[in-house]
Amino acid sequence: MERSLLNAVMSGLLGMGTLGGLAFVSAAPEPPAPPKSEGTWRLLDSVTYENIAIFPVVTSPTHDTSAFLTLDEGLSSGDVMVSEQGAAGLARTRDGRPISAPQTAGSASVNQLVLINRSRRPLLLLAGELVSGGKQDRIIGKDRIVPVGAPPLPLDVFCVEHGRWTGSSSQFISSKTIVHPSVREKAAVDQAQTEVWSAVASGSTAAAPPAAPRAALSPNELSSVMREEAPTQSYDKIYKSQRIGGSIDSFVEEIQKRFARATSSLKGERVVGVVVAYSGEVAWSDIFASGELFDHYWSKLLRSYAVEALARPMLREVASRDDAQDFLRRLNGREVQESEPGVYRWLEITEGNLTQIELDALQPKPMTLHRLLLHRTS
């Protein structure tokens, strides 16, 4: 009887999964890794404009991702709350219902917030998603899933508003923004706050070829906007300023029209991702488990790609289809893996100057929710 009781206690402890944001190894075997979709993806011809080329990635078999909640949806409905550490507050749902946030331990920290998932669906977070408010605007540091019923989660973040450390509310709202690839890389791969600030200030961290035409958004222009319109170097204010935002909006509008035309005649297939090239160099890809999930993120991803394009030299060269196709293969290199048992598995593979990051959901059915592959700029 004593042995049975001990086994029951140990089983309960091992099945807890996480404590304080740390992942533990479960005694129960994990579900097998989800089957990879590289073989089912098909690359369409590129959609080009100025110095950017976007290759749609399509497939016919897709997963049902309706079980997952996105950050924008959760913050808008009030089912998800993000606040500074040590804060207690009151938020409201979309229909006006008040929701109280429990007091959390510790004082406010630049690189950590507290997230509460009150919804009935697991929450999907992508590195680079921007939340606005609190003492400084922040971006999510890593792809991850927050399960239903999880305790308040210490959430690793990076600041993208250098200079402000005050605010009337400790709560954060969705900005429906994801930072452009140069900033996202510094958060998702380098995990370095100073590098994130530098990428916000410089626009792009990609090295310009000798004698390349100047970028539409030059560092001098960014510095001018920061000085006059966004003195706290707020990412949101910089790229929504009248001087810069207009250029981005017209750029996005033209790409969106061309992309819609290029993908309008698909039969039995859905767009699930894109491979992106700048000035003839393939640099980035985002691919999702379903067309629905891609559709949800597409508008803010497209805006992020446009910001990156405008911050890079305006070379009108088109990347080859073979180079883009290479971004659909699975890398073969050093692997780093993290997991929360029964919830998700995060995998990073490094091969030369390429990095691949995969977020696998383990429940309700194993699947790769998001796959990122990038050509590192440093």
Task: Specify if 317 maps to a domain.
Answer: yes
Amino acid at 225: V
How many angstroms separate the CA atoms of 359 and 369, rounded?
Answer: 6
Per the CB < 8 A criterion, the answer to whether 119 and 103 are in contact is: no
pLDDT at 141 (0 to 100)? 94
Distance between CA 275 and CA 272 in Å, rounded? 11
Q: Considering the domain boundaries, does residue 30 fall inside one?
A: no
Q: What is the pLDDT of residue 124?
A: 98
For the chain, the domain total comes to 1
Q: Identify whether 145 is part of a domain.
A: yes
* 339: Cβ contacts below 8 Å, ≥ 6 apart: 23, 30, 345, 346, 362
Residue 15 lies in a domain: no
Q: Which stretches of the chain score pLDDT less than 70?
A: 1-39, 87-108, 167-169, 207-215, 217-220, 222-223, 225-232, 242
- Within-domain flag for 358: yes
Phi and psi torsions of 55, nearest 5°: -100, 115
pLDDT value, residue 161? 82
**Cα separation, 80 vs 82, whole angstroms:** 7
User: Residue 273: what are its φ and ψ, rounded to 5°?
Assistant: 180, -175
Encode 293-324 in three state secondary structure.
HHHHHHHHHHHHHHHHHHHCECCCCCCCHHHH
Distance in angstroms (rounded) separating the CA atoms of residues 256 and 165: 37
Asked if residue 33 belongs to a domain, the reply is no
pLDDT tens digits for 165-216? 776 567 888 888 899 999 999 999 988 899 998 888 877 777 666 556 666 7
Asked whether residue 10 is assigned to any structural domain, the reply reads no
- Assess contact for 359 and 145: CB atoms under 8 A: yes
pTM (2 decimals)?
0.83
CA 168 to chain centre: 27
Range(s) of the domain holding residue 219: 38-375
Structure tokens at 39: 């073989």
Tell me, yes or no, whether 18 lies in a domain.
Answer: no
